[in-house]
Structure 1
Amino acid sequence: MAENAIPVALLPRRRPTTMGAMRRVVFVVHEGFQLLDLAGPADVLATATLLAPPGDGYRIEVAAAGAGTVTANTGIGVEASVPLAGVTGDIDTLVVVGGLEVERHLGLAGQIGRLSTLARRTASVCSGALLLAEAGLLTGRRATTHWLSAGALAAYPGVTVDADRIYQRDGVVWTSAGVTAGIDLALALVADDHGARTARDVARGLVVYLHRPGGQSQFSPALRAPAPDEALRDLLAHIDAHPGADLSVPALARRVGLSERHFARVFTGRTGMSPGRYVERSRAEAARRLLETTDHPLDRIARDTGIGAPETLFRVFRRLWRIAPGEYRRRFATR
């Protein structure tokens, strides 16, 4: 946590927003931020304002370390109307955006922590969750972020990371997954404020899902923390390359020359998941690639990837990605 981060628990929370007043939304940006992290949610809120009762929409402000032009990752400049230190008064929603270089801006955590005490709720888009964690706002909470940042977020004490969630709400703090997931988050905020019908109308107008099927891992490689140990890296490569092999704990422990108990403890500590869970995800990833690139029937895919039966394949896909294998193939086949 940043040294200048304010102890959030020591500062008073603001009262909830009353109906009939424009809801003030402050977006926090920084140099190199992901433009869609700002533009996507802002468009959702702007569209909701057109549909909301008069005076009950959203008033959007952009703040940064200093007022003036802030350059996004695309090279496009966005005008920050006020420096973070100059933001005062009640805020309905504080939204912290992310970007590939977000860890260069952890020094903003102190001001973000201060602003969160002025806000009814605080949210992050993509890797912006790292700034919330640095400010101490995710301690003792469940959160999500872009799958590339999941390991960095999990390194913060007291943060429980669910890296497959599109967005996560834990009390007054909301977090979302990578980039376009900010749109899903904003739609959820609109539904929370104005009801599902308004959120559905906004989604229809923007031609996006109101509730997209599956989690973010259906769009990304396997979600796992890197393993620094060379022997363990070799073992992970073996698992990924041979999904149909015997990948039981006894077999894997023999391969690295450890007792089963010690192996399970080391594996879980280095990767953040148990051997069984890793093997299941690796096999599911292999099945997913076959669904994308081949016409193999489901029973062959289940057999070749070590999953076993089509029924098990269906259960694994529904549990991991909340989508059936056949539906996944229809959406993402590239052959």
Structure 2
Amino acid sequence: MAQRTVLLVLFDGVQSLDVTGPLEVFVGAEQHTPGTYRIRTASLDGAPVRTSSGLTVVPDESLADSDELHTLLVPGGQGTRRPDTQLTDWLREHGPRVERLVSVCTGAIRLAQAGLLDGRRATTHWAYCDKLARDHPAVEVDPDPIYVRDGHVSTSAGVTAGIDLALALVEEDLGRDAALAIARHLVVFLRRPGNQAQFSAQLAAQTARREPLREVQQWISEHPGEDLSVEALAARARLSPRHFARAFQTETGMTPGRYVDRVRLEHARRLLEDTADGIEEISRTSGYGTPEAMRRAFVRTLGAAPSEYRRRFHPTSTH
């Protein structure tokens, strides 16, 4: 297997975790399978850079000295808010030449400024998706997934999503066992699927201010298979159904029904990805009642039936 050179671009104001997260994944892969990766960091002139958190990072080399790249990774951070003509020109020249072009978080803005995302589907940190779409209309911005792969170009959402994307790339290169070993060492999930939403239901919704509503939110997450009708939840919060529904939406920004739907879908997805439980059992424990009800929810939200969704992660599964 030919050694792949992975280069991480550094600049002042870079988000340190955008760099160190993927870096640890590729270093772990090299330790797992020596000779697989040659990992380098580079700034424009080879000088140290100061990250957005104040950490100083000393690169291995200057971008001018970087050649024969396989994977070029551009992180994000506050520094992407400032125009950098030299870096943009370098990316415009070298980006099309690499085997894999990768961005983490607002690193996608750097790629877009260099015209490298034109005509492609891409994502970035949820807070900057609108800006990316507005400033670069030739880019098809998808604000939901944690990462998007379009041909040889891969873009990821904020910070930790870079780890998920790096694990997916390592799995592509070395196989699932290697990626699993690295994920275990880093104490992270073996790659969240790219089409997983940037926000879980708990993150997408605001946390309710009043304690009874907060307790109901937590109870929903822990008991997706229970009766989660408005009437049942209202009784748990000791409120009338009408008052509960209105208060829940006001305080969380999401209706009770929508919140329950998202929790149940996430629960079912985790079981499909991480267990060998049958479709019927998963539909029951996730609160759908029947496999057909779960199938409709998956097709409506994810565009794939549960069995097809599982095959994406376990191609040999017969469940």
TM range (shorter): 0.5 to 0.7
Map of 1:295 onto structure 2: 216
The 8 Å contact of residues 317 and 323 in structure 1, kept in 2 or not, is answered as no
Q: 1:323 to 1:154 in 2, by over 3 A?
A: farther
Give CA-to-partner distance per residue, 1:107-146, whole Å, 9 cap, x none: 2211112221331010001110000111111111111111
Q: 1:313 to 1:75 in 2, by over 3 A?
A: closer
Whether 1:216 aligns to 2:198 is: yes
Map of 1:167 onto structure 2: 147
Moved more, 211-220 or 288-297: 288-297
Q: Which runs of 5+ in 2 are unaligned?
A: 221-227, 235-240, 272-284, 287-319
Q: 1:180 to 1:37 in 2, by over 3 A?
A: same
Map of 2:44 onto structure 1: 65
Note the C-alpha offset of 1:211: 3.0
Distance 1:318 1:30 in 2: 42
- Return the structure number with greater relative CO, CA threshold 8 A, min gap 6: 1
Whether 1:47 aligns to 2:25 is: no
The 8 Å contact of residues 201 and 263 in structure 2, kept in 1 or not, is answered as no
Distance 1:30 1:158 in 2: 26
Distance 1:145 1:289 in 2: 30
Note the C-alpha offset of 1:210: 1.1
What secondary structure does 2:48 align onto? strand
Counterpart residue identity of residue 50, structure 1: Q
Map of 1:75 onto structure 2: 54
Map of 1:132 onto structure 2: 111
Q: 1:41 to 1:212 in 2, by over 3 A?
A: same
The 8 Å contact of residues 87 and 115 in structure 1, kept in 2 or not, is answered as no
Distance 1:286 1:78 in 2: 36
Give CA-to-partner distance per residue, 1:232-265, whole Å, 9 cap, x none: xxxxxxxxxxxxxxxxxxxxxxxxxxxxxxxxxx
Map of 2:76 onto structure 1: 98
Number of residues paired by the alignment? Answer: 241
Give CA-to-partner distance per residue, 1:88-108, whole Å, 9 cap, x none: 3x2110000110231214422
Whether 1:184 aligns to 2:137 is: no
Give CA-to-partner distance per residue, 1:149-177, whole Å, 9 cap, x none: 11111121221112221111000000111
Q: CA RMSD in A?
A: 3.1
Whether 1:35 aligns to 2:55 is: no
Note the C-alpha offset of 1:217: 2.0
Counterpart residue identity of residue 185, structure 1: L
Note the C-alpha offset of 1:323: 6.9
Distance 1:204 1:97 in 2: 24
What secondary structure does 2:78 align onto? coil
Q: 1:323 to 1:204 in 2, by over 3 A?
A: closer
Note the C-alpha offset of 1:202: 0.8
Question: What is the percentage of aligned positions where both structures have the same residue?
Answer: 41
Map of 2:276 onto structure 1: none
Give CA-to-partner distance per residue, 1:13-35, whole Å, 9 cap, x none: xxxxxx2x321011111101101
Whether 1:25 aligns to 2:3 is: no
Distance 1:320 1:134 in 2: 35
Q: 1:199 to 1:289 in 2, by over 3 A?
A: farther
- TM-score scaled to structure 2, two decimals? 0.67
What secondary structure does 1:293 align onto? helix
Distance 2:178 2:129 in 1: 32
What secondary structure does 1:80 align onto? coil
Counterpart residue identity of residue 77, structure 2: G
Counterpart residue identity of residue 33, structure 1: V
The 8 Å contact of residues 106 and 134 in structure 1, kept in 2 or not, is answered as no
Note the C-alpha offset of 1:220: 8.9
Q: 1:40 to 1:24 in 2, by over 3 A?
A: same
Counterpart residue identity of residue 187, structure 1: L
Q: 1:164 to 1:29 in 2, by over 3 A?
A: same
Whether 1:157 aligns to 2:149 is: no
